Structure formats: structure tokens, C-alpha cells
A and B are shown apart, each in its own frame.
Chain A
Amino acid sequence: KAGVTQTPRYLIKTRGQQVTLSCSPISGHRSVSWYQQTPGQGLQFLFEYFSETQRNKGNFPGRFSGRQFSNSRSEMNVSTLELGDSALYLCASSWASPSDTQYFGPGTRLTVL
């Protein structure tokens, strides 16, 4: 069974640009969550999607958005990039309920210059 896949693995952007990251969950999983990992702030929850609806949202500005498609694949978008957005963006998928194990992808390393 294939794990969570994320594309691209690496991205370099400049300030002010926007970026879209993609996540394909484990087959059958309907919940997809996104996390930001930085050396200073650690792992922080961005948002979770379930059945194409945002179910939970973390404390990030509106520049961070996401969506989920009918096949459970998810994308996240960051507009007007700032230097501080440089981070490893991780996607995790699970079946549905909060007690279901979340499995993480390898992440997308975003560098903003």
C-alpha cells in the first residue's frame, strides 16, 4: 500500500510569489491535515480537510489556504510569500476520526528568498 505522497519535494520561491503544494493521501483515507515545521516553532497545525470541507484550522494568517478534492487529494496554497514561510510542509492522512492514526508524507521543503 502506497504511503502519503507530496509534490514537489523541494521548492524555491521569492518573496511576494505564491505557491501550491500537493498531497495524495493513503488510499481510503478521507482526512488530510497540513503542518508546518520550522526550527524555531517546531511542528504546527495548519488545517485539516475531510470530505472536501475544512474541519479544523490552526492559527495561521489567511495567506495560507487549502482545499480537498473528491478523491481526497489535497492542495495547500500560500500567497504573498514571506521569508518566514520557509519551512518543511508536511501532510498527514488518516481514515476519518480523531482517534485514527495520522500518517505523514515526506514533506515539501519550501525556501523563500
Chain B
Amino acid sequence: GESVGLHLPTLSVQEGDNSIINCAYSNSASDYFIWYKQESGKGPQFIIDIRSNMDKRQGQRVTVLLNKTVKHLSLQIAATQPGDSAVYFCAEILNNAGNMLTFGGGTRLMVKP
């Protein structure tokens, strides 16, 4: 599969544990944030999104937290499974920037059985 980043930060967790993936963003004008998951050989897959007027949003086994004060975004995955192993990207859309996604560098999640 493709190498999406030779020096990606890596998070290694045991199957069944919770995972927390962090992302810092730089532009306070960003008003929409998205988490994507990318498996080897595939394009990014949408996981969950959050708008700047919210600080928390929950999905199935995933929660996104947004802290605008420190410009920090996190993705929490509950009961991590081997199928969660992938590279995770946060992305932001700046206000008035149309559909342009600005991506973070990515974090590789490895789940140990």
C-alpha cells in the first residue's frame, strides 16, 4: 500500500483499549473540522465532523472534542479494534474558504491483538 507519511507519529494501543488521537490547528478562522481515516491503498474515509460552535460530538464508538481556546482537536475511539488500524487525519475548513480542506500531518494508529 501507499506510504502516506514516512515519519508519522504512531499510537500503539491494545485491542479493547480506548484511543485518543490529537490534532492542533493554527487558524482561529476555521469553523468546520473533520476526522478522516485512511487505510493502506485507500482514499481517506469520513469518520466524524464538528462545527466551531460545538465542543463535543459523538458517533458510533467515536467522539470528537474541540477546544477553541488552545486550538486543539481530539478523536477518541472506544474499545479499539484491529480494524481501526490506519492513519488518521484531522482536517479543517476555514470560514469563506469554500470546500478547501486543510489537512494535518496524520497519526498512525496500530492496534495490537
Whether B79 sits at the interface, judged by CB under 8 Å, is: no
Chain A residues whose CB sits within 8 angstroms of the CB of B44 once the complex forms: 43, 90, 92, 104
Give Cα A39–Cα B1 distance, bound, in whole angstroms: 13
Whether B45 sits at the interface, judged by CB under 8 Å, is: yes
A-B contact count (CB 8 A): 76
Give Cα A45–Cα B99 distance, bound, in whole angstroms: 10
Complex interface bits, A76-90 against B, C-beta within 8 A gives 1, otherwise 0: 000000000000101
Whether A65 sits at the interface, judged by CB under 8 Å, is: no
Complex interface bits, B51-85 against A, C-beta within 8 A gives 1, otherwise 0: 10000000000000000000000000000000000
CB of B76, distance to nearest CB on chain A (Å): 20
* B98: nearest chain-A partner, CB-CB: A56
> Helix, strand, loop or mixed for chain A's interface?
strand
Q: Which of B32, B45, B98, B104 has the most CB atoms of chain A within a 10 A radius of its CB?
A: B98
Contact of A106 among B5, B32, B43 (CB under 8 A): B43
Whether A74 sits at the interface, judged by CB under 8 Å, is: no
A:57-110 near B, CB below 8 Å: 58, 88, 90, 92, 94, 98-107, 109
B:33-61 near A, CB below 8 Å: 34, 36, 41-46, 49, 51
**A35-B2 CB under 8 A given contacts A4-B43, A42-B106, A98-B32:** no
Contact of A98 among B6, B97, B105 (CB under 8 A): B97
Chain A residues whose CB sits within 8 angstroms of the CB of B93 once the complex forms: 98-99
**A48-B43 CB under 8 A given contacts A39-B4, A39-B6:** no
Residues on A facing B (Cβ under 8 Å) = 4, 31, 33, 35, 37, 39, 42-45, 48, 50, 55-56, 58, 88, 90, 92, 94, 98-107, 109
Q: List 5 A-B contacts (CB under 8 A).
A: A4-B43, A35-B103, A37-B4, A98-B97, A101-B34
New contact pairs (14) apart from A55-B99, A104-B44, CB-CB < 8 Å? A33-B101, A37-B2, A37-B4, A39-B3, A42-B104, A43-B89, A43-B91, A45-B101, A92-B44, A98-B32, A99-B32, A103-B46, A106-B42, A107-B42
